[in-house]
Structure 1
Amino acid sequence: MRLFTALVPPARALEAVRTAVDGGRRTAPGLRWAPEAEWHITLVFLGEVGEERVPDLADALGDAVAAHGPLSLAVRGWGAFPVPERASVLWAGVDGDTGALGDLVRDLREAAGSCGVRVERRPYTPHLTVARSSPARDLTGTVRGAGAPHGRGWRAREVHLLESRPGTTDRYRTARTWALGWKPNPDPHSERSTS
């Protein structure tokens, strides 16, 4: 299974991105624009994971998610990888609790590593991919023409484990979902014994 962890912003938080992307499509029709149903904020790309390893990996990732509270986030501005003048990816940026988001990513990377899953260690840039180009091209005009998206903020409360299935109509399938900051109910027997 080809897996990654991600946040999925609510539709209302993406209205400004939708408007900006519509403008971008007019100035750069040759880009491969990601369908809105696939917009997400990747946290950690896990790559190919054997199905037999998924339960232990999911437990470790779930524990990491539970140690972090909900995040206040918003979509703000544009960026491109590697640089706008020679870009293969156009993305909308993420603003808000980015320090806490980076801490979450660090802990998810460590959880994956504890299960023998190798993950990238480069600095994390929170973003939402909206278009790709192959070969790389200058996207500075596209960024100017689209106008900077300033989306409504939202409270991210869940982390999803998504399976990537290229070539299918529903390319990303949710394999697991964990609530940020979720803690299991205490053992009811231990409560009774102390009262």
Structure 2
Amino acid sequence: MAEKDEMWRIFVAIPLPVPIKEALSAWCGEHKNRLAFAKWVDPEDYHITVQFLGDTRPDRVGEIGAGLSEAAAGIRPFSLEARTCGHFGRPAAPRVLWAGVEGAMAPLRELQQRVVAANEKLGYIPEDRPYHPHITLARKYKEGSRFDPAILKDQAPEFGAWTVEAMVIYRTRMRMTPMYEEVARISFQG
């Protein structure tokens, strides 16, 4: 049972199927020695963020889920593909290593806009930056290590395609592995 003052750090995301997680994990395992990131994401935590909501009382998850169900009305399952790799941050020391997302981007962007609009009605403030869907693989490049972006340009990995049938609300559990716990799921009915 949640404490009265307890807060959960939550976000809305597209979950990934096991075969995609396994392909991403295998690629990371092959490249960890050449890419000196301090923190590699646990494969169970791979996802595509739709919207970060932040600290939220647990008793609001039902209200958020109801808004997301309404936002998902009419959204049909759609296909995405995880492929290529890139990074955010300074080229010499990137903050994030990511796998790219391709495929049916129009439904994904529409979903993201609907999710943001639904959560804005509940008091959540939309981010100012443009939406860039991706799958975070690692964070915090180690200082003193030289990052060579050519390593990623030489790579054209294809991690696989899948049909997106739902979005979830994840709760972040700091210092736990896996770190993200699914607390609600909204299926796409079409």
Using structure 1 for the length normalisation, give the TM-score: 0.83
Task: Report the residue type matching 2:53 in the other structure.
Answer: L
The residue aligned with 2:124 is 117
- Is 1:87–1:139's contact at 8 Å kept on the other side of the alignment? no
The answer on 1:34 being equivalent to 2:66 is: no
Tell me by how many angstroms 1:98 deviates: 1.0
Task: For 1:59-78, list aligned pairs within 5 A.
Answer: 59-78=66-85
In structure 1, distance between residues paired with 2:117 and 2:38: 35
- Is 1:88–1:135's contact at 8 Å kept on the other side of the alignment? no
In structure 2, distance between residues paired with 1:111 and 1:55: 13
The residue aligned with 1:154 is 162
Structure 2: which 5+ runs fail to align? 1-7
Task: Report the residue type matching 2:94 in the other structure.
Answer: A
The residue aligned with 2:147 is 138
Aligned length: 181
Tell me by how many angstroms 1:84 deviates: 3.8
- Is 1:60–1:111's contact at 8 Å kept on the other side of the alignment? yes
The answer on 1:165 being equivalent to 2:173 is: yes
In structure 2, distance between residues paired with 1:18 and 1:151: 10
Tell me by how many angstroms 1:162 deviates: 0.5
In structure 2, distance between residues paired with 1:30 and 1:97: 30
The answer on 1:6 being equivalent to 2:13 is: yes
**% same residue:** 29
Structure 1: which 5+ runs fail to align? 183-195
Deviates more, 1:71-80 or 1:54-63: 54-63
Larger radius of gyration: 1
* More helix as a share of residues: 1
In structure 2, distance between residues paired with 1:97 and 1:15: 22
